[in-house]
Structure 1
Amino acid sequence: MSEPNGDRGHLLTERSNPASEALDRLPTADLVELFCANDLLPQQAVAAAAPALTAAIDAIAARLGAGGRLFYLGAGTSGRLGVLDAAECPPTFCSPPEQVQGVLAGGAAALLRSSEGLEDLHQAGRDDLLARGFSATDALVGIAAGGTTPYVLGGLDHGRAIGALTVAMACVPADQAAMPCDIDIRLLTGPELLTGSTRLKAGTATKMALNILSTGVMVRLGKVFGNRMVDVAVTNSKLEDRALRILRDLAGLPRTQAQELLQQARGSVRLALLMAASGLEAQAARDALERHGPGLRQALDALAVSLPAAPRSR
């Protein structure tokens, strides 16, 4: 498939915004006010895409629950946002680094130095996925603000051809730029205040949508109990303090006892919580999680025990 080399002026993300036609002449206070007003639009765009986000979360969680992986594929700002979201999953959810991966046109070097020319290579999207071992069991989210990036379209074409789950994320209507996918997420933020600069509203909406997507998937995978990150990786003092507060708030443990239990659980908050609720030793609690989990709630229910300080379900 070749790059559509025609005029992209019809794309929503490339149109001129009448509200900012005199942007260079505005007093600074008025410029800031204009940006603040426009930055309400990404929230509305994400809310309008809720049905597609819902479908994507459930479909991706099913793939990951069966042993598959999630790949974000993009170029420029879109790709960097995917890499950012993927990088935040292991420390937040203690997920394996390979479970959620960000694939950026140009690789790691493009994180710091733009490599826009690489996004024009349709075959490169497929090649970069193949290099990661991308397979039919995996899920792919192709991110392209304008919906026309050949690198992303090539990856989505490949994903569909091999039977992987394919999700498209763009900031233009589907009738302006069709993308090959199973689930189509459209974040319609309108023309940018700086014409064509999709790092602005389009980038903001994309970041918001990825936040919802990855968090929702991890909730469905049992990485969250209530609204607590019970699989948080305890890798520094801040995260240790958070873990101890979770044990205090959910299990009613004083800090010293919480520290002892967390040490026995080798830093696993989820395991420490199950030990606190059940009275099981670390290995027995670990076995129970493997049998009844992966989520803490499923294990608690299977053992017919509860956390004394946890809020009850409504």
Structure 2
Amino acid sequence: MIKIAALKKQYNNIEILKGIDLDIDKGKIFGIIGRSGAGKSTLLRCINGLEKYDSGYLEVNGIDIKKLNEKELRMFRRDVGMIFQHFSLITRASVYDNIAFPMQCWHYNKKEIDERVRYLIDVVGMYEKINNLARDLSGGQKQRVAIARALSMNPKILLSDEATSALDPKNSEAIMELLNNINKSMGITIVLVTHQMNVVKSICDDMAIIEDGIVKDKGIVEEIFINQPASLINILGDNRILLPNSGKNIEIMYKKDDSNNIIEKLIRKFNVNIIDFIMEDYKNCIIGKVIINVINSNDLKKVEEYLKSINIENYKVLGE
């Protein structure tokens, strides 16, 4: 669906994208994360053709964007919907007119516009607000209208630039659920830029971490969080808890399906204490994280051998 290779982009002789390599599969929800200034939003704008890149290759739905002239680029953008952080609605226009606006610009007939608008208003759960002015809506309601507008041209790809970061947690969760439902019901590929880890964990299938203008890590979301690469730690920070000075401390990450009562077995089999334990719900699975203290340091090797014997590979001895 989206193929990117060696993509570079600079502003005022400052290189923002320094060689992005990335493939995004059709029908997936793909998350792009990174610190401010890493190049996330610039990459998104290159994908929809709002920004011209300097070198490299970017293909969307089989189309090499760099080869398009202005007319072809305009046609291309019909297939790429965009959701912005601050909604970008026409504040003095009604909900109906905001959603209808892109179709009006493309001279759709009134019947097509009316059918599409009413369908999308129902999809985003805003039918009772159909005649309200955009300026009178709450933040969550405005974002729902913005999503409906982005879908008005029946795009194959939906791009989201920090769509939930201006919302409170309750509305953010509702918008995530809406995007997830749209992906499932319409089969639209969604690419979202975010700094909110809960967004990535709850709705994304795959993800990429951009650091200093390049892709540092990419892959299935839960595997990235289990493996804890340095690029992810750089974003999350080192939030480790206070650990015992005696014995050996081990951090273990595992999928719930692979756990097989791992904690109970460790306690029964070895002289260990549970220091910290958390279960996190991802889109496709539940991941457990446990920190244990092996009281007798000499038992460390036995514990490691046991973890390998039950196919738990994602663990590390802390402080070494």
Larger helix percent: 1
- TM-score normalized by structure 2? 0.27
Larger strand percent: 2
